[in-house]
Amino acid sequence: MDTSTQFVHLNLHTEHSLVDSIIRTPKLASRLRELKMPAVAMTDAVNLFAAVKFFNAMSNNGIKPIIGADVVVEEKGNRYVLTLLCQNRSGYQNLCQLISRAYLQGQQTGKPLLQSEWVMARTDGLLAISGANYGLYNAALKKGKTQIPELAPWIQAFPERFYLGLTRLGKKDEARAVHSACQIAHALSVPVVAMNDVRFLNADDFNAHEVRVAINQGYTLDDQRRPKHYTAQQYLRTADEMQELFSDIPSALQNTLEIAKRCNLEIEQGQTVLPAFPVPHGSTTDEFLISDSKQRLEKKLQQILSPEELVLKRAEYEERLQIELDVIVGMGFSGYFLIVADFIQWSKNNDIPVGPGRGSGAGSLVAYVLGITDLDPLEYDLLFERFLNPERVSMPDFDIDFCIRGRDRVIDYVAQKYGRGHVSQIITFGTMAAKAVVRDVARVQGHSYGFADRIAKLIPFAVDMTLDKALKEEPELQRLYAENDEVTNLLNMAKALEGIARNAGKHAGGIVIGPEPLTHYMPLYCEDGGQEHPVCQFDKDDAEKIGLVKFDFLGLKTLTIIDNAVKLIKADTQLANPEFDINAVPLDDQATYRFLASGQTKAIFQLESAGMQKLIKELEPENFDEIVALLALYRPGPLNAGMHHTFVARKHGREVVDFPHPLLEDILKPTYGVILYQEQVMQIAQILGGYSLGGADLLRRAMGKKKKSEMVKQRSIFLAGAQEKEVDARVANNVFDLMEKFADYGFNKSHSAAYALISYQTAWLKHYYPAHFMASVMSADMDHTDKMVSLKDDCLDLKIKILPPSVNDSAYRFTVAGEAAIRYGLGAIKGVGHAVIDALIAERDEQGVFNDLHEFCQRCAHIKLSRRTYEALINAGAFDCLGLNRASCMKNIEAAIRLGQQQFADQNSGMHDMFGFASGSDTQATVKVDKVEEWKQDILLSAEKQALGLYLSGHPIDLVAHELANMTGNTIKSVKQHAADNHTPVENEKRYVRGGGAPTLIAGLVVDMRKRGSRFSLVLDDDTDRIEVGLFEETYEKYRHVLVKDRILVIAGKIAFDDYLNDFKITGDKVYDLEEARDQFAGRLVIRYKNTASDSIEYEELLTRLQSSLEPHLDGNCRIVMAYQNDRSGAQIEFGDAWRVTPNKLMVENLQKILGKKNVRIQYQRDVFDKLMH
User: What per-residue confidence (pLDDT) applies to 144?
Assistant: 76
DSSP letter assigned to residue 344: H
Angle of CA points 677, 681, 685, to nearest 5°: 160
Residue 991 has a pLDDT of: 42
pLDDT of residue 932: 95
Question: How would you classify the pairing of strands 114-115 and 64-75?
Answer: parallel
Domain 285-428+507-558: give its CATH architecture.
Answer: 2-Layer Sandwich (3.30)
State how far the Cα of 193 lies from the Cα of 258, in Å rounded to an integer: 10
Identify the H or E element spanning 1048.
Answer: strand 1048-1058
* Strands (E) located in 472-619: 501-513, 524-525, 535-536, 549-556
pLDDT value of position 3: 58
Q: Does position 952 have pLDDT exceeding 90, yes or no?
A: yes
pLDDT digits (tens, 9 = 90+) for 705-737: 878 888 899 999 999 999 999 999 999 999 999
**Among 540-544, 683-687, 907-911, whose mean pLDDT is lowest?**
907-911
So where are the chain's domains? 15-262, 285-428+507-558, 433-498, 563-761, 803-948, 958-1077, 1080-1168
Q: Which of 948, 962, 949, 954 is nearest to 935 (CA)?
A: 954
Q: Are strands 821-823 and 815-816 parallel, antiparallel or unpaired?
A: antiparallel
pLDDT confidence band for 652 (50 / 70 / 90): very high
Q: Which amino acid is at 149?
A: P
The mean pLDDT of the chain is: 91
User: How high is the pLDDT of residue 996?
Assistant: 53
CB 70 within 8 A of CB 39: no
Regarding the domain with residue range 15-262, which homologous superfamily does it belong to in the CATH classification?
Answer: Metal-dependent hydrolases (3.20.20.140)
Residue 140 pLDDT greater than 90, yes or no: no
Task: Return the higher-pLDDT residue of 905 and 661.
Answer: 661
Contact call for residues 952 and 802 (beta carbons, < 8 A): yes
Q: What is the pLDDT of residues 416-475, one digit of tens each?
A: 999 999 999 999 999 999 999 999 999 999 999 889 989 998 998 877 899 999 999 999
Condensed to tens digits (0 to 9), the pLDDT of residues 23-62 reads: 999 999 999 999 999 999 999 999 999 999 999 999 999 9
- How far apart are the C-alpha atoms of 14 and 42, rounded to whole Å? 7
**By CB neighbour count within 10 A (0-12 exposed, 13-18 middle, 19+ buried), where does 462 fall?**
middle
**For range 989-1009, the mean pLDDT:** 71
pLDDT tens sequence across 1099-1132: 788 888 889 999 999 888 889 999 988 777 888 8
pTM: 0.85
Q: Map 877-943 to HEC letters.
A: CCCHHHCCCHHHHHHHHHHHHHHHHHHHHHHHHCCCCCCCCCCCCCCCCCCCCCCCCCCCHHHHHHH
pLDDT class of 992 with cuts at 50, 70, 90: very low
Which residue in 357, 980, 355, 971 sits closest to 616, CA to CA? 980
pLDDT number for residue 1090: 81
pLDDT at 669 over 90: yes
Architecture label for domain 958-1077? Beta Barrel (2.40)
Is 914 a residue whose pLDDT tops 80? no
Question: Quick one: pLDDT at residue 65?
Answer: 98
Q: Is 371 helix (H, G, I), strand (E, B) or coil?
A: coil
Phi and psi (nearest 5°) for 56? -70, -40
Q: What CATH class has 433-498? A: mainly alpha
Q: What is the 3 state secondary structure string of 52-93?
A: HHHHHHHHHCCCEEEEEEEEEEEECCEEEEEEEEECCHHHHH
Structure confidence at residue 159 as a pLDDT band (50, 70, 90): very high
Residue 555 is classified by DSSP as E
Q: Would you call 816 exposed, middle or buried from its count of C-beta atoms within 10 A (0-12, 13-18, 19+)?
A: buried
For the residues 639-665, what does the mean pLDDT come to?
94
Q: Quote the CA–CA distance of 784 and 1125 in Å, as a whole number.
A: 51
Task: Report whether pLDDT(1034) > 50.
Answer: yes
Q: How confident is the model over 353-396, as pLDDT tens digits?
A: 999 999 999 999 999 999 999 999 999 999 999 999 888 878 88
CA atoms within 13 A on the CB side of 752: 24
Per-residue model confidence (pLDDT) at position 920? 42
Residue 868, CB-side half-sphere exposure with 13 Å CA sphere: 5
pLDDT of 918 above 70: no
Q: How confident is the model at residue 993 (pLDDT cuts 50, 70, 90)?
A: very low
| pLDDT band of 990, cuts 50, 70, 90 | very low
